[in-house]
Amino acid sequence: MTDFVLYQRDYCKLCDQALALMAAVKAPDFDSAWVDDDPVLEEAYGTRVPVLRDRRDGREMDWPFDESTLRHFLHQAD
């Protein structure tokens, strides 16, 4: 299991943008969780996606975020 998980939906343009940003900053490996497939995740994240969660400490970052904010989030718990 990786330290980070990106909650997202199928066919979500914002989620695609978040994925591109993760690639641009060379984010560490992360898991994707599809909220469409899980009623519990749908309830928690359905209107917030994309959301990046740090499993180590439970921090979450909702969209929108930029490269600077993303880098800070990814390295905050280092």
List beta partners, residue 53.
5, 60
45 Cβ contact list (under 8 Å, min separation 6): 7, 35, 51
What residue ranges define each of the domains in the chain, with the CATH number in brackets?
Answer: 4-75 (3.40.30.10)
Token pair 């800070």 in the structure block, residue: 72
Instruction: Specify the pLDDT at position 1.
Output: 84
pTM: 0.94
| SS3 per residue for 1-18 | CCCEEEEECCCCHHHHHH
Q: Residues of the chain with pLDDT > 70: what percent? A: 97
**CA dihedral angle for residue 17, residue 63, residue 8, residue 47, rounded to 10 degrees:** -130
Angle, nearest 10°, between helix axes 67-75 and 13-24? 70
